[in-house]
Amino acid sequence: GVNSTISVASCADALDLLSVTVNITHPYTADLDIYLFDPSGNYIVLSSDNGGAGDDYVNTVFQTGGTAITSGTAPFTGTYAPEQAFSTFLRGAANGTWTLKVVDDASGDIGTLDSWSLEFTSSCGDLTYDWTPATGLSATDITNPVATPTVSTTYTFETTATGCSSTNDVVITVNEAATASAGVDASICEESTFTASGSRGGSAGSSTWTTSGTGTFDDATIVGATYTPSSADLAAGSVTLTITTDDPAGPCTAATAAMTLTINAIATASAGVDGAICSNTTYLLAGVRGGSASSSTWTTSGTGAFDDASIVGATYTPSSADIAAGSVILTITTDDPDGSGGPCTAATDAMTLTINSLPYTQDFETGSSSMSLTTQSQSAAAIDAASANTGSYGLHLGGGTTTGWSSSYSTGADAFTNSPTHVASASRSVCASTDPYLTLTFNKKQTYTFNYKYTWFRLTVNGVPVSDNYLTTYFSGTDGTTCGVWETLTYDLSAYASQGFTIAWESCTKYYDGETSAGCGGDNVYIDNIVLVESASQPLPLTPASIIGFQLPNAGAQERYSIGAIAGATSYTWDVPTGWTIDFGQGTTYILTTTTSLDGNVTVYATNGAGNSGTQTLAVTTIEAITTFPDTSAFANEVQHSTVASTNGFTFVETGWRNYIITDDGDWRADKAGTGSSGTGPGDGSSSGQPDHNPGTSSGYYLFVEASSPNYPSKTFYLWSPPYNLSALSNPICTFWYSMYGGAGMGTLSVQVSVDHGKTWSADLNYTLSDRNATSVSGNQGTNWLQGFINLSPYTSATALVIRFTAVTGSALDGDIALDDVQVMDLPVTAVTVDGNVILSDDLFSTSGSNVTITGSSATTITSNGYSFSIVQVNNSNGVTMTDDLTTGALVLLDGIISTGSNILTVENTIWSAVTAGHSGSFVNGTLRRNIAANTSTYGFPVGQGTESADYFKADLINNGLDLAGSTDYVQVSVAAQTESGTNTDGYLNTSQNTTDIV
C-alpha cells in the first residue's frame, strides 16, 4: 500500500471535514482499499474493492450526501458518499497530520496515487473545551484527556467558539479483570501424586495448568487437577506448576499464577523373599533399605531374637514357641525420612520364615502349602478340592495336551525321560532328623484317559527316584480303573536320617482335566495326607503285598507263591495248607510247594529287628483230577458275571474250570443271552436273546472273553480245564463248541495241553476236522456255533492233563469269543457226534469200537486221506458227500444220502449186520463195497442212483456159503442207469467179486 499525508494548521474541528478529493491511476479499482486517518489516529473507509474491473479514480470527491461509492462504476468521476461517514471521527481539532492510505490487496497490477486534498467547513475562532463529569479524567479543558474510570462512565465533550457550542458523548466501558491463584507451595513424597488447589475468578471462564517439568496432569483444565511427577521431576526435586486463565473479552488480558511443588525422596525397605530353616538352625536375613531411609529395625511376630535388629543382615534365632507355631513373620521398618511433618513415611516390608521340624504333616486343608510347585509347558500343579482324599483339599499334578508327549511311555523311566515338558513336581525341604529311622506315608490316586500308562508317578529325594517299601519306583494308572482308587504308599527314608534333604512328588502325565472325555477325563496324580515321622527305634516291616500264585491249583502240583520284597525286612515266614509241603524258599520272597487235595490258606509275614509284620493270606482250593468219563462241562449252572470289560476276578460254578490270572491279561467270564457288545458274540451278535450251544436257548450259559476296551488289542486270556486222568482210556478225545462271530476286530482261539500241572505246555493243537493242518482259528467265523475236536490219544499216560483254551483279542471290540459244552470221552466207549465237514488225518476214529455220528445243519463232506472209521453213522438229512474212497468197519444209515461219486464206500466188517438201517431217506448214491465171509447170511446193499427217495433200489444178496478165492472177499454193488424197458424196473445191479461179475 501507499501512505500520503497532509498537515493541517487551523482551528477546524475534525467533524467539520467537508470533502476529500482523490486522483488514483490503477487498471483494476476492485483491488483498492482507501482509508483516511485523522491526527488522532482515528480512521474511516472511503472505498473498499469497488468498481469491478474498471480503472482509475479521476477527481473523485468523497462527500456526505453523494452517490454511494459501492454502487458506482469505474472510472470514478464526480461526488460519492464514503463507505463510512465523516461523523465517525471524534470531535476535536483538525490540527495535525492527516493520512490517506491506499492498499492494493491483489497482485499482478500496480497503480499510482496522483493527488488528494481535504476541505473543511470552518476556520479558526476562540474555542473552549469542557469534559463532564471530571471523575477519572486527567483534565477537563483539553481535547484529549486520559480517562481512568473504575466503573463504566459516559463522558460529554462540549466545544464552544464565537458564541456557538457543540457536544458529543463518549462511553467508556470498564471490564472486570481475570484472576488466578495456583495455591501455596507444597511438598509430596516420591511415588505420590499431587492434587492442586488452584482457583480462577473475575472474568476468567477457563484455565490451564502447565508444568516446568515433564510430569502429567490428569485433566489440566480443572483447577483441582492431579499432577503425576515424571522421573525427571523426581530427579530435579521440584517443579513449578502454573495456572493460566483464558483471555476474557475486551481489553483485559489472561491472568496467571504459579506454585512450587517439592518432591521428597521416599524411603524403601525389602525384607527379602520368604525362607525356611530347620528348627535347630538360625536364619540370616537379607533385608535392604534405600531411598531417603537412614536406619531400620527388625521385628518378629514370634518370640525369637535378633542378634542386632538395627542391621539389614540380622540373624534370627527362633524360640521354642516359634518352632511349635511352624512359622513367624519378620518385618523390617525404616525411619521416617522427613519427620512427622513431612509427606513421606517410614517404609516397611515383611517375609515369612517357615521353621521346619519333624514330624512333618501336610493335609492341604488350608488350601495352600509351603511346597514349591514346579510345572513345564505341558504340565500343571495345584492344590484343589478334586485331589482330596479326606477333607477339602489335596495336591493335584496333571498334564497338558498331546504336544511334547513321546510315544515311548511304556515304562515310567521312559515317560519321564522322553516327555520332560509333561513333568510336574511338588517339592519340600526336610530338616535333618535327630533319630535314625524315617518313615514317609501318603495317599495317592491316579486317573487316566485313553491309556493307563498316560499317567506316571514317582517320588524323588534330592532329585533321585526312590522306591517305596514294596520296592516299586514308578507307578502307572491301574489298567481298567480309569478313575483310580486311593492307596497308601510307604517309604523307608532312613538312609537320609540326620541330614537335610529335598523330597519331591512328581508326575508325568499326558492330558489335563477336560482335554478329552475319554476315561476319567484327565491324566492326573492326586496326593493327600502326607506324614513324615522319625523314630529312635526301627519300625516293623510292612505287611507283605498280595501273594502272587495260583488260587486253584491241581492237587499234586508243585506251585510257586511269591511276594515283592519289603524294605527293611530280613526274612519271610510262609505257611501252607495242611498236608502241603514247602519244597524250597522258606525265609525268602517265594516258595515252591507241593499241593494235596486239601484246601486252605497260603500265608506269609515279614520280619526285621523290630519284630514281625502283619500276615498276608491267599485262600487256595485244589482241583482234583477227573477219572469218570465221559465228562461234560455244559456250564448250565453258572451265574451271570459282569459285562464291564475291565472287571476281573471271575470264578466258575463248573468244577475245576478256572482263569489263570498270573500271566494273562484278563478273565473269561460266564454269560447268557448275548454278550454286552452288539455285533459280536453268539448268534447274530445281538446283546440280548442269543442262544448258547446246548440247549440252544437264551437262558443257557456259556463262557466268553469280552473284547471291549481295555481288553484289546492283542490281549491274552487263559482258561484252564480241570485235570483229567486219561490213564484208563484207550482213545480219548475232547469235543467242544465255540463261537467267533464278530467283525474285523475278531482275534484268535488256540488250544494247548499240559501234563505237568501247567509248568509246560504243548504247541497249539489242531481242533478243526475241516482243516487238519490248522492249529488255531482266527477272524470272523459266522453266526453258528462251531465244533472243535482234540485228539488226546497221545496223552493216555497223563494222570492230570489240563486243557488250556487261549483267546487273543484282535484289533477292535467286535471280537468276543465264546466256549460251551466241553466233553472229554473215550471213543470206544462213548459215541461222538461230528457236526460239519470231516477231514481225517490220523487214526483218531479207526480205533476198534470208536463210534462216530455225522450230523450237520447243511450238507457235509468226508475226506479220508486214506484213514478210516471204526463205526460211522450218518444222520444228516442234508446229505454227505465223499471226496475220496472211504473205509469203515461198520455203517449205520439213519438219515441222509451218501453220495460217493466215482469213489467207493467200503465196509470192512464181514458180518452181515455191518451195514444197518437204510431206507428211502438214507442210502448210498454210488458204489458200496462189502467184505463178506462164507456163511448163509443175507447181505443188504442200501443203494440208489440219485438223491431222491424214489432213487432207492436196495439189493439183498444171499450168500449161501459163498467162498471165493482171494485174500479179501467182497461184493460191490452199484445202480447203473436204466437202459432198457421190461419188468426190471429196479434198473441193473452191477455185482462183482474183485473184477469178476458174479451176478
- Cα(777)–Cα(436) distance, integer angstroms: 62
E strand or H helix that includes residue 487: strand 487-492
If pLDDT is split at 50, 70 and 90, which confidence band does 989 have? very low
**DSSP label at residue 222:** S
In three state form, how does the secondary structure of 74-129 look?
CCEEEEEECCCCHHHCCCCECCEEEEEEEEECCCCCCCEEEEEEEEECCCCCCEEE
Bridge partner list, 150: none
pLDDT of residue 938: 87
pLDDT of residue 992: 46
- Cα(862)–Cα(840) distance, integer angstroms: 8
Q: Is 763 helix (H, G, I), strand (E, B) or coil?
A: coil
C-alpha cell at 967: 485174500
More confident residue, 384 or 13: 384
Instruction: Work out the average pLDDT over 248-275.
Output: 90
pLDDT of residue 993: 46
pLDDT of residue 967: 59
pLDDT higher than 60, residue 978: no
pLDDT of residue 292: 86
Arithmetic mean of pLDDT over the chain:
90
CB atoms within 10 A of CB 503: 22
Count CA atoms within 13 Å of residue 426 on its CB side. 23
Instruction: Work out the average pLDDT over 463-475.
Output: 96
Spatial CA neighbour of 876 closest among 895, 850, 902, 853: 895
- Cα(623)–Cα(651) distance, integer angstroms: 13
If pLDDT is split at 50, 70 and 90, which confidence band does 772 have? confident
Spatial CA neighbour of 752 closest among 730, 721, 783: 721
**What values do phi and psi take at 525, rounded to 5?**
-125, 125
pLDDT higher than 60, residue 204: yes
Q: Where are the alpha helices (DSSP H) in 316-438?
A: 320-325, 412-418
- Cα(580)–Cα(599) distance, integer angstroms: 9
pLDDT of residue 981: 36
Instruction: Work out the average pLDDT over 666-672.
Output: 96
pLDDT tens by residue, 615-639? 999 999 999 999 999 999 999 999 9
pLDDT higher than 80, residue 535: yes
pLDDT tens by residue, 282-300? 999 999 998 888 999 999 9
Instruction: Work out the average pLDDT over 552-580.
Output: 96
C-alpha cell at 211: 508444568
C-alpha cell at 841: 488225518
Instruction: Out of 203-217, 338-352, 599-613, pick the least confident.
Output: 338-352
* Class of residue 578 by CB neighbours under 10 A (exposed 0-12, middle 13-18, buried 19+): exposed
Contact 735, 743 (CB under 8 A): no
Displacement of CA 987 from its chain's centroid (Å) = 85
pLDDT higher than 90, residue 818: yes
Instruction: Out of 32-41, 445-454, 592-601, pick the least confident.
Output: 32-41
By 3-state DSSP, what share of the chain in percent is helix, strand and coil, each rounded to 5?
5, 45, 50
pLDDT higher than 70, residue 735: yes
* Rg (the chain; Cα; Å): 61
pLDDT tens by residue, 402-435? 999 999 999 999 999 999 999 999 999 888 788 8
Instruction: Out of 518-522, 787-791, 796-800, pick the least confident.
Output: 518-522
Q: Which amino acid is at 205?
A: G
- Cα(436)–Cα(940) distance, integer angstroms: 99
pLDDT tens by residue, 60-87? 999 999 999 999 899 999 999 999 998 8
Residue holding cell 493541517? 8
If pLDDT is split at 50, 70 and 90, which confidence band does 7 have? confident
pLDDT of residue 976: 58
- Cα(211)–Cα(202) distance, integer angstroms: 24
pLDDT higher than 70, residue 982: no
In three state form, how does the secondary structure of 631-644 look?
EEECCCCCCCCCCC
pLDDT of residue 598: 96
- Cα(245)–Cα(480) distance, integer angstroms: 83
In three state form, how does the secondary structure of 725-748 look?
CCCCCCCEEEEEEEECCCCCCCCE
pLDDT of residue 980: 35
- Cα(710)–Cα(402) distance, integer angstroms: 21
Burial of 310-342, coded b for 16+ CB within 10 Å and e otherwise, reads: eebebebebeeebbeeebbebbbbbebbbeeee
C-alpha cell at 461: 529325594
C-alpha cell at 937: 447170511
C-alpha cell at 969: 472177499
CB atoms within 10 A of CB 832: 19
- Cα(619)–Cα(713) distance, integer angstroms: 32
pTM for this entry: 0.62
If pLDDT is split at 50, 70 and 90, which confidence band does 124 have? very low
- Cα(176)–Cα(245) distance, integer angstroms: 14
pLDDT higher than 90, residue 970: no
pLDDT tens by residue, 838-856? 999 888 899 888 999 999 8
pLDDT of residue 515: 84
Contact 438, 504 (CB under 8 A): no
Instruction: Work out the average pLDDT over 671-693.
Output: 91
E strand or H helix that includes residue 217: strand 216-217
pLDDT tens by residue, 470-505? 999 999 999 878 999 999 999 999 999 988 899 999
If pLDDT is split at 50, 70 and 90, which confidence band does 127 have? low
Displacement of CA 233 from its chain's centroid (Å) = 52
Cis peptide bond N-terminal to 695, omega within 30: yes
Distances (CA, A) of 136 to 40, 133, 158, 169: 21, 8, 17, 15
CB atoms within 10 A of CB 48: 16
pLDDT tens by residue, 904-963? 999 999 999 999 988 999 999 999 999 888 888 888 899 988 888 888 888 778 776 766
pLDDT higher than 90, residue 252: no
pLDDT higher than 90, residue 599: yes
- Cα(631)–Cα(634) distance, integer angstroms: 10
- Cα(671)–Cα(692) distance, integer angstroms: 9
Residue holding cell 497503480? 111
pLDDT tens by residue, 862-884? 999 999 999 999 999 999 999 99
Beta strand ranges found along 246-320 (DSSP E): 256-264, 267-270, 275-278, 283-284, 288-291, 296-300, 305-306, 315-317
